[in-house]
């Protein structure tokens, strides 16, 4: 690749990256890390003339910081919004935490989002486990004669979803009529 020699080429490259970022932001609400990855892949695909990867990442970081100053992108907002969406889907707090880590969100924003959920919701893991049981038709949804046979399987399903053993056991031991009441509360 040919290195950027003059200021005009540099400005053109930054404008190109910025236009890619705007078009991506029109469609999606990404985290900073997701946008950084997208811009890097797009610039390689379009063969933007940059000398080395470090220089390219510096330009991408400059574009992302300008978008952050203009409040087009915010990891704090992204973390709060995604945490609420994941909770509605029935994710445990552990699974929410690790999903946000995979998205490249800073640990302090993740802690803030989790603490907000804990403040707003009473026992969010319990109600998320109930949502999983209802959706997967496990635990209290099963007929009474099959519940004991599938107890280990149901515990393992909830464990893979990120719930602790205590929460899983508590949800799986709920009587059917009580479970229906909890489902109406959700």
Query: Block means of pLDDT (10 residues each) for the chain, length 186 residues?
Result: 58 88 92 93 80 84 93 92 93 94 94 94 91 92 88 94 94 91 84
User: What is the model's pLDDT at position 2?
Assistant: 46
- Main-chain dihedrals φ then ψ at residue 123, nearest 5 degrees: 55, 65
CB 35 within 8 A of CB 64: yes
Same domain, 89 and 44: no
Last-in-domain residue among 120, 138, 155: 120
User: What is the model's pLDDT at position 14?
Assistant: 86
Same domain, 116 and 132: no
User: What is the model's pLDDT at position 1?
Assistant: 42
Same domain, 116 and 144: no
SS3 for 62-87 is HHHHHHHHCCCCCHHHHHHHHHHHHH
Domain span at 141 = 124-185
Asked if residue 1 is part of any domain, the answer here is no
The tokens for 84 are 């609420």
pLDDT digits (tens, 9 = 90+) for 80-107: 999 999 999 999 999 999 999 999 999 9
User: What is the model's pLDDT at position 156?
Assistant: 94
The tokens for 96 are 């929410």
User: What is the model's pLDDT at position 6?
Assistant: 61
Same domain, 160 and 130: yes
User: What is the model's pLDDT at position 8?
Assistant: 65
Looking at the 3D structure of the chain, how many domains does it have? 3
């Amino acid at each position: 690749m040919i290195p950027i020699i003059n200021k005009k080429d540099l400005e053109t490259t930054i404008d190109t990256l910025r236009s890619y970022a705007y078009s991506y932001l029109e469609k999606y609400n990404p985290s900073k890390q997701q946008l950084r990855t997208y811009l890097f892949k797009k610039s390689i695909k379009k063969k933007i003339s940059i000398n080395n990867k470090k220089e390219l990442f510096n330009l991408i970081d400059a574009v992302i910081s300008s978008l952050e100053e203009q409040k087009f992108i915010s990891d704090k907002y992204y973390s709060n919004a995604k945490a609420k969406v994941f909770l509605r889907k029935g994710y445990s707090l552990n699974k929410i935490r690790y999903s946000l880590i995979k998205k490249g969100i800073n640990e302090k924003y993740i802690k803030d989002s989790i603490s907000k959920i804990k403040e707003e919701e009473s026992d969010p893991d319990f109600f998320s486990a109930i949502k999983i049981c209802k959706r997967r038709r496990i635990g209290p949804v099963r007929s009474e004669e099959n519940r004991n046979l599938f107890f280990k399987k149901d515990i393992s399903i909830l464990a893979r979803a990120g719930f602790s053993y205590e929460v899983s056991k508590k949800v799986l031991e709920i009587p059917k009529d009580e479970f229906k009441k909890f489902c109406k509360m959700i």
